[in-house]
A and B are shown apart, each in its own frame.
Chain A
Amino acid sequence: MDNRKRWPLWEVFIRGKHGLSHKHVGSLHAADADMAIENARDVYTRRQEGISIWVVESKDIAASDPKLNDAMFEPAADKVYRHPTFYDLPDELKHI
């Protein structure tokens, strides 16, 4: 690649099946969004992993600061009552 312009990095999200949400599966390089979707199709859905693909340029994702993890996430650690684990759920309920 040397003196040539590198293709930007894209993050790939795949929807496994209807009713599920798109999940981040990885990243790849592509010149534009169309190519990113085709590359994602070839790299991430060869084994029938999905029925829908989203791509977004990695630079467009805003991320939390790992240095602030204590302040961001620690306070939730001791609030066990927020987990709905005290309900009996029927077996038929999935994806909850």
Chain B
Amino acid sequence: MNSKTEYILHLADNGLILAQRLGEWCGHGPVLEQDIALTNIALDVLGQARYFYQYAAEVDGQGKSEDDYAYLRGEREFKNFLLLEQPNGDWAHTIMRQFFYDNFMQLVYTKLLLSTDKQIAAIASKAIKEVNYHLKFSSEWVIRMGDGTEESHERVQNAANTLWEFTGELFVPTDYDNEMASQGIAPDVTSLKNEWENRVNEIFAEATLQVPQAIWFQSGGKTGVHSENLGLLLTDLQYLQRTYPGASW
């Protein structure tokens, strides 16, 4: 598989896995309004994933469809961030995961607008508007909980502490990252780190939260080495196509 296909699948897998996690909230949100808000975000990122899978199929040239990539690959073939496969936990964990990712993706899509690949740039120009809203939403909730009650502050601080070790991976380039950066197709992910951290510092300050200090970061998701959570998630996600191959409605 060529680097470009791998990179596009990485972007697609991020959207699919996050959408699946957010979808788990459907019907279980703390209130109706936030239930709908999360499923709206899920549909946005799933839509982005579909564009990327469709484009990956074209670039891959193996005659596969978007469904083949989503439903018929094993966990070692998925290239999503470890952060996104982490369980929903409570509302604070779900929001914190979203904030870390939105913060990152807004920086990525802003750079992808200038990609030398026109199709990727076109997808980014649609996605950036969605992500701008997601980041506003997740940032406000981090602030609301951090600067809220004693309980909400503690929960959201716990969420930050738990998820922090999965944020290092966002800035660790893989071979396909480096190849795409050298061709001007994608940004150098290491160059996004400062701005990402600045925004975390800014929002956490307003939320009266402590920025966690990690001595070690998890990584591997981008090259298919996942936590045990992904296998369980895929079992749910892929069950129907695995059990009834080709089923459609």
Contacts and interface: CB of A to CB of B under 8 A. Distances in A.
Interface residues of A, number: 12
B150 interface: no
Interface stretch (B30-38, B177-185, B231-239): B30-38
Contact of B137 (A30, A38, A43): A38
B33 A43 contact: yes
Contacts, number: 26
Interface in B22-40: 31-34, 36-37, 40
Interface in B196-235: none
A62 to B, nearest CB: 25
A62 B99 CA distance: 39
B33 A31 contact: no
Interface string A1-29: 00000010000000000000000000011
A39 interface: yes
A42 B140 contact: no
22 contacts: A7-B31, A28-B32, A28-B33, A29-B33, A30-B33, A34-B140, A35-B140, A35-B144, A38-B37, A38-B137, A38-B140, A39-B33, A39-B34, A39-B37, A42-B36, A42-B37, A42-B40, A43-B32, A43-B33, A43-B36, A46-B36, A46-B40
